[in-house]
């Protein structure tokens, strides 16, 4: 159970583990209502990866470039059921099944629908994260090294994604780029 005086309950829990000055800056921007607009200004344009086919191609291209030797992906899909942000950072599963007397493993990557209306940097971060798990199952040093090898700005993007999740959790921000995408 989180303690009631834990400063990182509520939306800011997505920033657990980050240095206090960074968290404090996000807390201030969240409180004065300017965090969403800051993110929109920094990342003005949504990506164009709209459906499962486009997502499969996008993930496949990154995988072919950076993780050619990792096991093939059976499925890549947008997932509307990952709305709760606990899972918003995506899921990677290995579904074991028996086929012709042998156990085979299907690897799947699902990305929360929330990221359909997001800037390209945020989609890239989440996809790099899930792809890196094909090789590194834990969130350890080797995992983050691999993420940064694929995307040198990985840490900055993850922090900004987490700041966005704070916004979404606080009730503003889920539709930030929907509006941006709909603009003429
Ligand atoms: Zn992970």
Task: State the distance from the centre of ligand 1 to the C-alpha of 99, rounded, in angstroms.
Answer: 28
- What digits encode the pLDDT tens for the residues 1-52? 444 345 567 888 888 888 999 999 999 999 999 999 999 999 999 999 999 9
* Ligand 1 centroid – CA 140 distance (Å): 10
Summarised one tens digit per residue, pLDDT across range 46-83 is: 999 999 999 999 999 999 999 988 888 989 999 887 65
CB-count burial class (<10 Å; 0-12, 13-18, 19+) for 128 = buried
- Residue 66 in any domain: the answer is yes
**pLDDT of 128:** 94
CA of 89 to the centre of ligand 1 (A): 7
| Total tally of structural domains belonging to the chain | 1
Q: Which among 157, 167, 95 is positioned nearest to 126, based on CA atoms?
A: 157
pTM: 0.85
Q: Is residue 10 part of a domain?
A: no
Whether 40 is in a domain gets the answer: yes
Q: Which domain holds residue 67?
A: 17-178
Q: How far is the CA of 133 from the centre of ligand 1 (A)?
A: 7
pLDDT of residue 106 exceeding 60, the answer is: yes
Q: How far apart are CA 58 and CA 76, in angstroms?
A: 10
Tell how far the Cα of 136 is from the centroid of ligand 1, in angstroms: 9
In which band, very low, low, confident or very high, does the pLDDT at 169 lie, cut at 50, 70 and 90? Answer: confident
3-class DSSP assignment, residue 62:
helix
| 183: in domain | no
DSSP letter assigned to residue 59: H
The yes-or-no verdict on residue 85 having pLDDT over 80 is no
| Position 151 in a domain | yes
User: Is residue 87, in this structure, part of any structural domain at all?
Assistant: yes
Q: Is residue 6 part of a domain?
A: no
Interacting residues of 180 by C-beta distance below 8 A, sequence separation 6+: 40, 44, 45, 46
Q: How many angstroms separate the first and last alpha carbons of the chain?
A: 47
Q: Which pLDDT value is given to residue 170?
A: 87
């Amino acid at each position: 159970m989180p303690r009631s005086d834990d400063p990182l309950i509520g939306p800011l829990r997505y920033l657990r583990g980050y240095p206090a000055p960074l968290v404090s800056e996000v807390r201030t921007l969240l409180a004065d209502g300017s965090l969403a607009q800051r993110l929109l200004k920094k990342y003005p344009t949504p990506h164009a990866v709209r459906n499962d086919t486009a997502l499969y191609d996008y993930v496949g291209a990154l995988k072919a470039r950076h993780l050619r030797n990792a096991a093939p992906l059976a499925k890549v899909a947008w997932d509307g059921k990952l709305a709760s942000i606990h899972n918003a950072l995506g899921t990677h599963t290995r579904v074991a099944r028996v086929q012709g007397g042998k156990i085979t493993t299907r690897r799947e990557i699902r990305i929360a629908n929330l990221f359909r209306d997001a800037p390209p940097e945020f989609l890239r971060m989440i996809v790099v994260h899930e792809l890196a798990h094909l090789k590194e199952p834990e969130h350890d040093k080797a995992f983050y090294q691999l993420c940064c090898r694929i995307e040198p700005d990985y840490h900055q993007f993850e922090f900004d994604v987490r700041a966005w999740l704070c916004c979404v959790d606080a009730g503003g921000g889920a539709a930030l780029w929907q509006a941006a995408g709909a603009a003429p």
